[in-house]
Every structure is written in C-alpha cells, then in structure tokens.
Structure 1
Amino acid sequence: MECAIPFSRLEREEFQQMDYRVMACAFASHGELGRHCTEEIYRNDLMARLEEEGMGPLQSEVLVRVRHGGFVKDYRLDLVVADRGIYELKVAKGIAEEHEGQTLNYLLMTDCAHGKIVNFLSSSVESRFVNNPMTRLARCRYSVSEHAWRGPDELRRGFLSAVEDLGLFLETALYNQILIHRFGGAEVAMQSHPLIRNGRILGRQLFQMCSPGEAFRVTALSSKLAAQQTSFMKLLALTKLKALHWINLNRHDIQFRTLAV
C-alpha cells in the first residue's frame, strides 16, 4: 500500500472532537450552497471553510496505490483532515451500504482508525461514522481450511501471497482483480460461457478462469455458506465447466473449496 500521508490512529473521542468542527463547516456549507451542487463544489467550499478555521493540513483526491507483483490499482480519498481523518463526500439519495464498504476499505488500506461519510444531497446534511478497529498487523493473521480443495496450486499460492502482502478484510473485488491479473488479465481470464438448460442456451455469462474449464471466485461470507454453495452448484450445473474453485474469507479463516458437478 502506498500513500503519502502517514496516518496516526486517533482514539474515538479525539476523532469526534475534530469531527464536531468539520461537521459545523459542512452544515454551514450546505446552508449557504443548498443541496444541488456537485460533489467537487461542496468539497472545495468545505475545504475553504476548514482552512479558515485553522484545521489544516487539508488534502483532497489523495492517492492510495495498491501494488502486488505486477498488479497496480489506484484509489482516491475525497478529503483528509489534519492527516488523521478520512471524509468521503457524497451527493446521493442516501448513504448506502456500498458507501460504508468503500470508506472502510480506505481506512483498512491506510491503517486509519476513523472516517466519515457526508452526504449533501439530502434536505439536511446526512452523515455516518465508519470505524476501523483492526491494525495492519491484525489483518495479516489468518488460518487456512483446505480439506475440500482440488484447485490449482498457483491459484492457492497466488491468493495467499496477496493476503500476506496486503492483509485481509479488503474489498473482495480487489482480491478477484489481483487473481485475474495473475492469470493473464481480463482479456484472458474473463471468459464468456453459455448457460444451458435442457439443451437450450439461455445466454452467456462471464466467469473468472484459472485454467481451461475451471473458474474461480473470491467471496467474504461469515454466514449462509451452505446457501451460497448451493447457488454456485446450480450455476455450475448449467455450464460445461469442470469446476468452480471457491475462496471464501470467513473473517480470519481462509476457506479453499472446489465445487464440481
């Protein structure tokens, strides 16, 4: 993980004290600008108000770069206040679960303890705290369950290498993208296969491939695993694929399982 800001992990009370001043500026901005400006305008106005309050340093569009082997992906933090708190600014109908997931992902990547989502589109400023209770060291502790694994060793080793490098609990899309890169990139690893029922082709669906006739998927589930396996098996039965290699992150337990019909 590469980020120019060396975040210090604030206690919750310290962040709340800082946040009280940030939100006062956010409410003032919303009160003067209304609810129909762009995210960029709200961010620029909020930063100007925070600067007037002496709350620097302030940085926007802060680059966070993820590297693993030849894989590189860039993220941007909307606003960082005093090198201690991450603020994700939104102009949306409401704060959604995906916004919380995005913000938590940023906190985990930067080892920052606290952040907040601020939405300016609602009639009054809407906000939600997002907290990261885990240190980088804690995210690198894991156990492995693989008694039902029949997948290629390169897939298993490739995934564990990514976890050792980046840690657990990041968004599953990132782990999937790292493995797709390892198996030749999207042009090679993302393949469309027909779904067939009773001899009739229903359409084609994309699968992440690790070898001819073998797909893989990374999930992060701590419950309803049996239901997920049943769903995967139903999907697999509609294809001519030989196997689906399923990697599930059940908190600190990495579960490797091969599904075949």
Structure 2
Amino acid sequence: MPIECPIQFPKVEREAFRKLDYQVMHLAFESHRHLGKNCDEVIYHNDLAARLNGAGLIPSLVEVEVRVRHGSFVKEYWIDLIPAGQAIYELKSAVAITPSHESQTMNYLMLANCEHGKLVNFGSTSVDSRFINNPVPREARYRFETVTTSWQGPDTLLKALVLFIEDIGLFLEAPLYNQALVHHLGGPEHALERRPMTLNGCQLGNQTFQMCSPDQAFRVTTLNQRLQAQRTSFEKLLALSDLQALHWINLNHHKIEFTTLRK
C-alpha cells in the first residue's frame, strides 16, 4: 500500500464526534491545570492519553506512525493522539496556533483517511483549539487534470510527479511532493544546491535550490489563491540567481499546473 496506517478510522457522524470532543477537551483542560503551559509536547501527549484511557475512551493511542511509500521513497509521519480510535488530535505546545499547524493536521487527516480532527495547543495561558475536518473523500484525491501549455521543463520531472500523485493523491502538504521529486533525482546530495544570489552587483550569499539540471531548478506548491503574487516572487528569485529557468508546479485542487519561468 502506498499509504500505510495501522488504524482504519470508522465513519463518525458529526454529532458523535462533538460528544467525543467534549470528553477529550474536558480532560485536556484538566491536563493543562495540572501541567501548566511549559511542558514539552510529549508530556501532554502521554498525560492526556492516560486520562482518556482512564475515562474509558479506549484505545487512545499516542505517536501513531503513518508511512508513505512510492518506489524507494519513504516518508514517515507521526499522529500525536487518536482518542478511542475515532479521530485525529494534533497537540502543540506553542505560543499560538498557526496556519502551518492547521495544514499539518489536515495533512494527517488526508493521509489516514480520517474525517474529523482537532488541533489543541497547551502552550498558552489557557487551552486553545481548532476543529479541522477533512472535506475531500479519498477517491476524490486521485482525480486531476494537467495543464502543460507553459511547461518547458524535463518530461521526466513531469511524469515522475504525475506517477507519484496517481499513487499517493492530491491535497497533501507541498513538502511531501518536493521531497519525493528530490528523491527521484538522486536525493538531497544530488538535487539540492547552494547557488549564488546577486543584486546590482552585490553578492547576497547562497540560496538552496532543488535542481533538475545544471542551471535549472524546480519547486512544487499547493496554492489555490494569490497565484500571480507567487509567480512574481519566483520571478524575483530567479532574477537574483545564476539560474536560467525555474520550473514551477502548482497543485491547485484537482488541477496540476506546470509552468516554466525563464530569464
């Protein structure tokens, strides 16, 4: 299986999840009262799981591994907490919840084919949380169209990404797709390079690029808005570098957009 998860999540109706969440959050606040806001995340993981199991919400599991495989590429993820085997809870000990935390939680929901989840932060004065629900059924993540009218990059790169998506699906975090392509190109030691950056003759230092040829780089994004702003940013990046082209692949919902930017 391209995505390996030891838990097969049941279909949980929204009201049933609300009832489960009421119990989880009651114990999360109790945990916070006893532990405070400065513990490492693993301390909150273990304390909350022990409280959930003690309350009869079994099995409540911590650090559950989900593994992505595609050929020789392997990527491991760890789900923080699964109360009663029904939903995914991502636990943080941060100053505040950020969009990257929300994206990470959604990524886990997609990978594990789980409908309901929640992000819980213990690092502030009081427990903060966000519901994160998965709106895309697993089968829908494999439907896509490709747009290649502006693509002048290597066909091997295009085909490698399409094969990966056919195997793993869409709607996951951008780093996964980038890492898979870097692996396909020989791994970080071959595909990642530090290239000089210059502005008006002034040397600014070196920037890391994902390379697909000696003078061409690539980047995968997962944007569905502000695409022109991202294009402008990549054009500025390219202008500062010694590269001749930057191949931009954007996974926009069910559309894969392949674009080549040149100096």
- Equivalences for 1:35-74 in 2 at 5 Å? 35-74=37-76
Correspondent of 1:248 among 247, 250, 256: 250
Aligned to 2:147: 145
Alignment match, 1:131: 133
TM-score by length of 2: 0.95
Provide closer, same or farther for how the CA distance between residues 240 and 36 of structure 1 changes in structure 2, counting only shifts above 3 A: closer
- 102-111 or 83-92, which deviates more: 83-92
1:257 to 247, 256, 259: 259
Cα deviation, 1:203-225, whole Å, max 9, x if unaligned, reads 21111001121110101122222
Could you say which residue in structure 1 is the equivalent of 2:95?
93
Once the 2 structures are TM-superposed, how far is the Cα of residue 11 of structure 1 from its aligned partner? 2.1
**Partner deviation per Cα, 1:24-53 (whole Å, 9 max, x = no partner):** 111122223333333222222212221121
How many Å separate the matches in 2 of 1:38 and 1:200?
A: 43
Q: Which moved more, 1:133-142 or 1:225-234?
A: 225-234
Q: Any idea what SS the aligned residue of 2:77 has? A: strand
In structure 2, the residue matched to 1:229 is 231
1:128 & 1:81 partners in 2: Cα distance? 16
Gap change, CA 1:38 and 1:146, over 3 Å in 2: same
How has the CA–CA distance of structure 1 residues 200 and 41 changed in structure 2, closer, same or farther, with 3 Å as cutoff?
closer
The aligned residue for residue 14 of structure 2 is 12
Match of 1:120 in 2: 122
Is 1:9–1:111's contact at 8 Å kept on the other side of the alignment?
no
Check the 8 A contact 1:216/1:244 in 2, yes or no: yes
The CA deviation at 1:2 is: 0.6
Aligned length: 261
Q: Which residue, 201, 205, 208 being the options, matches 1:203?
A: 205
Cα distance 1:18–1:145, how it changes in 2: closer, same or farther (>3 A)?
A: same
CA spacing shift, 1:165–1:199, aligned 2, 3 Å: same
The match for 2:216 is: 214
Q: Distance in 2 between matches of 1:61 and 1:255?
A: 35
1:31 aligns to what?
Answer: 33
Q: Are residues 27 and 236 of structure 1, via their aligned partners in 2, closer, same or farther at CA, if it must alter by over 3 Å?
A: same
Gaps of 5+ in 2: none
Q: Can you list the C-alpha shifts for 1:172-213, whole angstroms capped at 9, x where unaligned?
A: 011000000011110110011112234443221111001121
Question: Match for 2:40: what amino acid?
Answer: T
Kept in 2, the 8 Å contact 1:192–1:204? The answer is: yes
Q: What runs of 5+ residues in structure 1 fail to find an aligned partner? A: none
Q: Give TM-score, length-normalised by structure 1.
A: 0.96
SS at match of 2:85: coil
Question: Which residue is equivalent to 2:177?
Answer: 175
Whole-Å Cα distance in 2 between the matches of residues 215 and 18 of structure 1?
A: 47
Identity rate, percent: 55
Give the partner amino acid of 2:128: E
Structure 2 vs 1, CA of residues 198 and 92 (structure 1 numbering), >3 Å: closer, same or farther?
A: closer
